[in-house]
Structure 1
Amino acid sequence: MTLNSKGLLNKPFILISLLMLVSFSVIGQKITVTGNITAEDDGSALPGVNIVEKGTTNGTVTDIVGNYIISVDPDAVLVLSFLGYATLEVPVDGKVLIDIQLEVDVSDHWPIINIGYGNISYNELTYGISRLTSSNYNQGYIYEPTELWQGKVAGLSIYKRGDNPHEESVMRIRGLTTFDEEAAPLIVIDGVPMATLHNLDPQDIESINVLKDGSATAIYGMRGSQGVIIITTKQAIYGRKISVSANSEVAASVISKKQPVMTASEHIAAGANDLGSSTDWQDEITRTGISTGHHVTISGASESSSFRASTHIRQVEGILLNSGFNQINTRVNLRHRAIDDRLRFDFNIAVTNRKSNFSFPDAFRFANVFSPSAPITFPSGDYYQPILFDNFNPVAILKQNVNLGRRRNTNFGAKIDFDILDGLTATVSVAQQFESNFNGKYYSRNSLYEGYNRGGLAQRYTDDQSFTLGESYLTYYKHFIDLTLNVVAGYSYQEDRFESFGAELGDFPSDELGYNAIGYSADILTGEEYLIDISSTTSPINTIKGIFLRTTLSLDDIATFNVSLRRDQSNKLGENKQSGLFPSAGINLNLLHYLKSLNLSLLNMRLGYGVTGSIPSQYGLANQRFDYSFQNGGTVRMAHDANPDLKWEQKKELNLGIDVNAGPFIATLDLYQRTTSDIINLVRIDPNDFSTGERYDNIGGLKSRGMELMLSYYLGNSNNITWQPSIVLSTSRTLLDGFDVDQEVRGTPGIAGSGNSQLIRIAKGEKIGEIWGPVFDGVDANGYAIFRDTNGDGQLLIDNGTALDPNTDFTSLGNGIPSWELGWSNQIRYRNWELNMFFRGAFGHSLVNRARLGFEPLDLGAVNSYNRVVTDKAVDGLTSSQFSSLYVEKADFLQLDNISLSYSLPLKTSSWMKSLKVNMTVQNAFTITSYTGNNPEPILVSGLSSATFSVSKDVLTPGIDHVSNYAPSRTFMFSLSLGL
């Protein structure tokens, strides 16, 4: 590690870090207090109770059997809080053993919330924040962290088309804020911003805090516009003896809904040739995917040191043949405290190795359209394959070709906290993470899908990504008689880099070596450069440097005020506009101070305003870009012009929130309004002024407003039965506020026979996601569609070229973005039994059913070549395919996302086992919807790629349902958990 201006330990970082750690002072003698926390009503142990020394940030939580240990002053007061139980203050009075019982009372619980660079009590929040702990997570066989939270947080949208084990969910907080297809919320893991979820097993996640509004995320500056998800992993607990926990799970996944297509007999009756077989191609390419997981955790501690180590081994099978991965993940947490707990060290390291078989999801598309009377193979064993345009034997695709990969992730983080003075703490943290990927594809010399026309085709791709972070900050905390002051000030430096290499060559003597034979390609001998595809990329060292300040002032039982300011600088932006300033302010008013007659334990009003930023995921957009071609001996051309004034995207957001606790009832309401400006987009410019006629510029804008509601109720009785239902509900509306043209249509179907139709219209001042097209009005005598004269002017303008004509008969057919999203949780307990049911729904969105558009009309000329989609929306006599309202369907749905039943075996206190739990779960149990496709979930980003065509991703064209989507599955899981 070098000490230079571009490295981790640059001069500002050294200076601030040294200033923070130069002072030492003597503190008073502390004592170590231990004990056990139980419930007053039934004496059961309470794990996860929050224990804080009053007036300080010193705290801990109880372990799985309710034990705790904490070092405090002899005259300290312990503040205990736990969801569902009354907050309790217990004087220590010099005692070293204190057992405590908590009284059930969900009306009074103020957990400590991580808000980034510090914590705050729940009842003092000025922000729009949602918190989830492990007791609230989704149940089932979950290998992707985002699936734990899907539908659980109002305003957090998480969608994944089908159940491809290699595809990541699209995740958005409060809708669209940019045109960048790769944009996603900022992930902060154990204090490390821009951490990757690839190196985190869901079983290691203790809690998440979702920072949704601008006043909450402004402290993260240029990275905060898409919202922030703060993840805290499970940590070791001081003073606890060595313990071991283990659990194993096995899950079986089956396809939950097929694409409705003709059977062999129906296809023949419709006029197709009888090819002698009856094949359900969707059955042939899918399987019952058996997945397993094995998890072991070892933890232990002394009074001053603790450790936690976990290992997770997963074998995941997708329902598509050959798809899945094997993965091992290890995470270690070490903690140590010294100098009477004034000096605290925290170290984390995690390593993940994954081996993947990506298979070919494109097989789903061809399983829908390949002739159902065709055999899989000829009698000779060769795969049946007629020579047809864009129609291939789906089983042959999967069994003739190979698509494998490897991924390795490593990250470490270290943090030092030192109490310089009472109430003044210095924190220094460093972190690094690395990711490397390899992908190898080989298409057989006999594969008509891809490879046959090239004598075999091999592809190899590798990339390496690295990220480094250094942060240091001071925290000052002071409690006066009726006033609390908290100030955080610090410096942050991060850098990241990316490089990749790819090669594609063909013409091999045999298929034996697969993609490893790429060096023996005959393309090298022929010298035909257009057949050789070699790519190599590298980024500069991308940096973000920031300084930040946040001040929180709390007036006891009256109000909390919060202000923050951050200044960031990024070299991804134009040289004239690399710095940005991001302020925020918020207030929390305790209305019960003025309305004491109300029978409530909490009635708070929050108001916050913040400015956040966003920088592009790509690098070099502000610079000139060049393309190189091998043709004519090699040529170079400028792809787009530079823009030295390219700046960060800016979001201004106002948030109003109300929090209510009334006995067992809890409610939170948030209303927000925001404006995003200076969105970066590739725009057309005057070629007389700029040679290429295009460059990236700050030209776009969005306006949004929305509402988020959370309701929870706690029901209990003397028969040991409790039921806690909760509902999260959100709605939002996003309008296009700025663009380089007033309106345009975009988003093509990407299937054979659909012509050049563009399905989505965007226009200034209108809602994003408008599906645009003619209205179907019947069938003529020749089998062609009749369209409606929507404006009644006597002429019919329904060609794609007239979509934006003032007299067009195109009209709005729906919208691809849901108006409402719902999550409904039900947690029912009876003695040692627990039943969880979670329903999830989205309403108000439509989908373009492209399978119907391309393959539903009964065209006698094409029925031999392609199978037909069969739905109750088909129109008799229609033989031609043209996009219209006929193929736009309302896709509202309500789904029982998971239902889980578990039983904890009662064990004697002297048993060598501390806990034993069995669990059974069904995921995607059923879905209620009128949509005729196989998946009604919203499509927030349109676009797909395959071996035969490519469509770029586009966040401005939601709602277009692909024919190649990986099918959804239903999963049955059994798990066994053991604690020692």
Structure 2
Amino acid sequence: MENNLRRQLIMLSKRLIFAFLVQLFLCTVILANTGNAQLKNIEEVKISMNLQEKSLAQFFKQVESKTDFKFTYTDNLIDLKQPVSVEENNTSLYDVLAMVSMQTNLRFVQVNENIHVKLLTGNKRNTVEVMELQEVTVSGKVIDENGDSLPGATITVFGTATGTITDIEGNYSITVPDGSVLIFSFIGYEPIRVPVDNRSQINITLKTDMSSLEEVVVVGYGEQRKVTFTGSVASVSGEAIRQTPVTNFSNSLVGRLPGLSSVTRSGEPGNDNSIIRIRGTNTLGNNGALVVVDGIPGRDLNRIDPNSIETITVLKDASAAIYGAQAANGVILITTKRGSSGKTKIEINMNQGFNRPTRIPKMANSEQYLTMLNEIEMYQGRPQRFSDEEIMNYREGSDPWRYPDTDWFNEVLKPWSSQTYNTLTVSGGNENFNHFLMLGAKSQDGYYENSATKYGQYDFRSNLDGKINENVRIGFDLAGRQENRNFPTRSAGNIFRAIMRGKPHIHAHVARHIHQILRIRGHWITKMLLQLHFSVLHQFKQISCGRFRIIE
């Protein structure tokens, strides 16, 4: 017993030592390759390129995509639009840069993996240089326009993860390779890039970012400047939402607004609404968020056309209290587009997409299924249902009418289903009258062959604003849509369950005619909003709203 235990311990120790030596060898090889890669310079790297009268920025982009080098420069000193021409094949990057230097009067200096671009001044003959890595310690102070220190300002080295922050007095110190470019940034201030240029002292004054200070958010009682608003809100523009071409608007909010979660239980066309929660489940009854469109609560979120949306704001705390108890689960504020003074703008968006199932179960074929049936009979002591000759005929498939081998998923589902999304918008106006008009059409097909499942939507929106005088303005909004939903008489769950239970040794005749039994639902939804604005001593808003729904 003791001898066996000792023998096992010795074998285990040998294996551990062997594994350690293998890992040590692999680490040595990796580190050696990394070290060799760091020794490469622009004289050793070969590149092929064909550019004719292209901008300097395009040249930089191509070099960065084909090599590991990054260009650093000061924006206001280098003209990135000046044209360059390069036609080289397997030429060293050093020679390519020398050619570009002759065309642009620029000087290139390689420091590690960065290529610093500078203006060629004086009588310098070396237009392209390779400098060895020399580190320099840079210190200084970061202040604002009023001379006050900025504690917590971020200083990073361009193109790397190296960085530091300023202390409570705004002072900093960082060790970087000479020739690096430092990026100074702070919330509410414009970032600035400064080359080190062998300096040990760099003091920076950051300017206020006026665009961020003037940014406003829509809240329940109007608009507020984002810099002074203290509530918990999240907002996203309609332009960002339109990047996701979906027929159901609620499916495009996922991952775009912090604190908002969305779950889609079905992808069936016309029945793919998302369940939206703001900061989780907050009540015992209805946990859905209150949707407010252009100041009118209780709207439907799912079928709004993204091309008519200007901004979306989510109120997550006491900022939603103006809507009372119905806002216990948060509020989603949607502001639609309106016309602006200027020339009439016509915009056409056309999108064609295709959907397919992401994963289809792999089912047993006829031979496997019949073999399993025979095994069940054998285990129960009964004679087999199918002979070996019959199973062989199913396997060979020489007589598909007598011995079929049906893949039910392949018979019922088609490889691709289409999805179309087209909109036309017209906007414009003058000092006294502005208009925004939109027409949209959407369609989405199901996954079935000759599908009985279809969804079609036609919608329009008209936002008109008029100025009667300096104190009175009037607005008239009209929106409507027609929804056509086609469903089979069985639910999608029942159909997929039937497909999975389909026997592979039976012909697929019924599956191809399932589209003959339909249930069709279609209706018009029309909404109208009349707004009248009075402005005397204070601004008052009187809103009257009428909504009617016609079901056909």
Q: How does the TM-score come out when normalised to structure 1?
A: 0.31
Deviations 1:10-68 (A, max 9, x none): xxxxxxxxxxxxxxxxxxxxxxxxxxxxxx98999xxxxxxxxxxxxxxxxxxxxxxxx
Q: Where does residue 453 of structure 2 map in the other structure? A: 323
* Counterpart among 277, 284, 289 of residue 172 in structure 1: 277
| Structure with higher RCO (Cα < 8 A, 6+ apart) | 1
Q: Distance in 2 between matches of 1:160 and 1:271?
A: 38
> 1:410 & 1:153 partners in 2: Cα distance?
29
What displacement does 1:314 show? 1.6
Q: Does 1:235 align with 2:338?
A: yes
2:220 pairs, out of 102, 108, 116, with 116
Equivalent of residue 539 in structure 2, options 425, 450, 460: 425
Change (3 A) 1:139 1:285: farther
**Deviation per residue, 1:761-810 (Å, 9 max, x gap):** xxxxxxxxxxxxxxxxxxxxxxxxxxxxxxxxxxxxxxxxxxxxxxxxxx
Is structure 2 residue 257 aligned with structure 1 residue 125?
Answer: no
Which amino acid letter does the alignment assign opposite residue 224 of structure 1?
A
Q: Name the residue aligned to 2:351.
A: 249
Q: Structure 1 residues 217, 343: closer, same or farther in 2, change over 3 A?
A: same
State the Cα deviation string for residues 676-712 of structure 1 (Å, max 9, x = none): xxxxxxxxxxxxxxxxxxxxxxxxxxxxxxxxxxxxx
Match of 1:327, SS state, is: strand
Match of residue 435 from structure 1: 549
**Post-superposition CA distance 1:623-651 (Å, at most 9, x none):** xxxxxxxxxxxxxxxxxxxxxxxxxxxxx
TM-superposed CA distance for 1:235, in Å, is 1.1
Amino acid at match of 2:468: A
Equivalent positions of 1:444-523 (< 5 A) are: none
Aligned equivalent of 1:262, options 353, 364, 367: 364
Alignment of 1:96-115 (within 5 A): 108-115=212-219
Q: Does 1:295 align with 2:423?
A: yes
Of 257, 277, 287, the residue aligned with 2:404 is 277
Tell me what 1:348 maps to.
Answer: 477
1:310 aligns with 2:438: yes
Q: Residue 356 of structure 2: SS of its match in structure 1?
A: strand
Residues 347, 258 of structure 1: alpha-carbon distance in 2 compared, 3 angstrom cutoff: same
Query: Which secondary structure does the structure 2 equivalent of 1:271 belong to?
Result: helix
Task: Give percent identity, aligned residues only.
Answer: 24
Secondary structure in structure 2 of the residue aligned to 1:131: strand
In the alignment, is the contact (CA less than 8 A) between 2:250 and 2:302 conserved in 1? Answer: no
TM-score, normalised by the number of residues in structure 2: 0.54
Displacement of 1:222: 2.2
State the 1:121 CA deviation.
1.2
Q: CA deviation at 1:212?
A: 1.4
Deviations 1:515-572 (A, max 9, x none): xxxxxxxxxxxxxxxxxxxxxxxxxxxxxxxxxxxxxxxxxxxxxxxxxxxxxxxxxx
Greater strand percent: which structure?
1
CA contact (8 A) 2:242 2:307 kept: no
Q: CA deviation digits over 1:796-830, x for unaligned, max 9?
A: xxxxxxxxxxxxxxxxxxxxxxxxxxxxxxxxxxx
Q: Which residue of 1 aligns with 2:532?
A: 416
Aligned partner of 1:210 in structure 2 is: 314
Take 1:159 and 1:375, find their aligned partners in 2: how far apart are those partners? 38
Q: C-alpha displacement at 1:411, in angstroms? A: 0.2
Give SS of 2:268's match.
coil
Instruction: Report 1:754-769 matches (<5 A).
Output: none
Q: How many residues align?
A: 324
**1:428–1:107: structure 2 CA closer, same or farther, 3 Å change rule?**
closer
Aligned mates of 2:420, 2:473 — CA distance in 1: 38
One-letter amino acid matched to 1:372: P
- Does the CA contact (< 8 Å) of 2:251 and 2:264 recur in 1? no
- How far 1:430 moved relative to its partner? 1.4
The change in CA–CA distance for 1:160 and 1:264 in structure 2 (over 3 A counts) is farther
Secondary structure in 2 matching 1:404: strand
Go from structure 1 to structure 2 and tell me whether the alpha carbon gap of 1:285 and 1:109 turns closer, same or farther (over 3 Å shift).
Answer: farther
Aligned to 2:245: 141
Distance change >3 Å, CA 318–CA 159, structure 1 → 2:
same
Alpha-carbon distance, 1:311 to partner:
0.1
Asked if 1:332 is matched to 2:437, the reply is: no
Q: Does 1:368 align with 2:472?
A: no
After TM superposition, list the pairs within 5 Å mapping 1:521-920 onto structure 2: none
Q: In structure 1, how many angstroms separate the alpha carbons of the residues matched to 2:188 and 2:530? A: 34
Native 8 Å contact 1:415 1:427 kept in 2: yes
Task: Give the CA deviation at 1:304.
Answer: 1.2
In the other structure, the counterpart of 2:264 is: 160
Letter in 2 for 1:365: R
Q: Which runs of 5+ in 1 are unaligned?
A: 1-39, 45-82, 88-102, 378-382, 384-393, 439-980
Question: Which sections of structure 2, spanning at least 5 residues, go unmatched?
Answer: 1-74, 82-186, 192-206, 375-385, 392-401
Write the deviation string for residues 561-614 of structure 1: whole angstroms up to 9, x where unpaired: xxxxxxxxxxxxxxxxxxxxxxxxxxxxxxxxxxxxxxxxxxxxxxxxxxxxxx
User: Structure 1 CA distance, aligned partners of 2:370 and 2:211?
Assistant: 67
Deviations 1:652-681 (A, max 9, x none): xxxxxxxxxxxxxxxxxxxxxxxxxxxxxx
Whether contact under 8 Å (2:247, 2:443) holds in the other structure is: no
In structure 2, relative to structure 1, the CA distance for the partners of 1:328 and 1:116 (3 Å cut) is: same
Higher Rg of the two aligned structures = 2
Partner of 1:63: none
- Alpha-carbon displacement from aligned partner over 1:166-214 (angstroms, at most 9, x marks no partner): 221111111112343x54111101111111235521221121001112x
Cα distance in structure 2, aligned partners of 1:196 and 1:355: 17
2: distance between equivalents of 1:43 and 1:150? Answer: 38
Query: How far apart are the structure 2 equivalents of 1:207 and 1:43?
Result: 34
Flag the 1:160–1:323 CA change in 2: closer, same or farther, 3 A: same
Q: Is the 8 A contact 1:186 1:226 kept in 2?
A: yes
Q: Partners of 1:254 and 1:296 in 2: how far apart?
A: 28
SS at match of 1:375: coil
The aligned counterpart of 2:378 is: none
Is this contact kept in 2: 1:248–1:295, CA < 8 A? Answer: yes
What's the counterpart of residue 201 of structure 2? none
Tell me how far 1:369 sits from its aligned partner. 1.7
- Tell whether 2:354 aligns with 1:226: no
Query: How many Å apart are 1:112 and its aligned residue?
Result: 0.9
Distance in 1 between residues matched to 2:539 and 2:443, nearest whole Å: 44
AA in 1 matched with 2:238 = S
Q: 1:108 to 1:266 in 2, by over 3 A?
A: same
Equivalent residue number for residue 14 of structure 1: none
One-letter code aligned to 1:147: N
The CA deviation string for residues 490-533 of structure 1, in whole angstroms up to 9 with x for no partner, is xxxxxxxxxxxxxxxxxxxxxxxxxxxxxxxxxxxxxxxxxxxx
Whole-Å Cα distance in 1 between the matches of residues 208 and 351 of structure 2?
33
- Residue by residue over 1:66-111, the C-alpha shift from the partner in whole angstroms, topping out at 9 and shown as x without a partner, is xxxxxxxxxxxxxxxxx99969xxxxxxxxxxxxxxx996994442
Pairwise CA distance, 1:136: 2.9
Look up the equivalent residue of 1:303 and give its one-letter code: E
Is the partner of 1:241 in helix, strand or coil?
A: strand
Please give the secondary structure, in 1, of the residue aligned with 2:370. Answer: helix
In the alignment, the residues of structure 2 paired with residue 84 and residue 304 of structure 1 have an alpha-carbon distance, to the nearest angstrom, of: 36
Question: Does the 8 Å contact 1:166/1:358 carry over to 2?
Answer: no
**Residue 430 of structure 1 aligns to which amino acid in structure 2?**
S
Match of 2:111 in 1: none
Q: CA 1:119 to 1:368, structure 2 compared with 1: closer, same or farther past 3 Å? A: same
The answer to whether the 8 A contact 1:199-1:409 is kept is no
